[in-house]
Amino acid sequence: MRIALYPGSFDPPTHGHLSIIQRGLKLFDGLTVAVLKNPAKDAVFTVDERVELLKGALGGDKRVQVKTFSGLLVKFAQQEGVNTVLRGLRAVSDFEYEFQMANMNRKLDRGIETLFMMTGEDYFYISSRFVRDVARLGGDVAGLVPPNVLEALRRKFGPPQGAQK
Catalytic machinery residues:
17, 41, 90, 128
DSSP string, 90-125: -SHHHHHHHHHHHHHHHHH-TT-EEEEEEPPGGGTT
Cα 30 to Cα 20, 33, 62, 137: the distances in Å are: 13, 10, 8, 37
Helix (H) or strand (E) holding 50: helix 47-58
Any bridge partners for residue 5, and if so which?
Answer: 32, 85
Cα 38 from Cα 60, distance rounded (Å): 26
Number of other CB atoms surrounding residue 17 within 10 Å: 24
Measuring CA to CA, which residue among 114, 108, 80, 75 is closest to residue 94? 114
**Residue 150 Cα to chain centre, angstroms:** 16
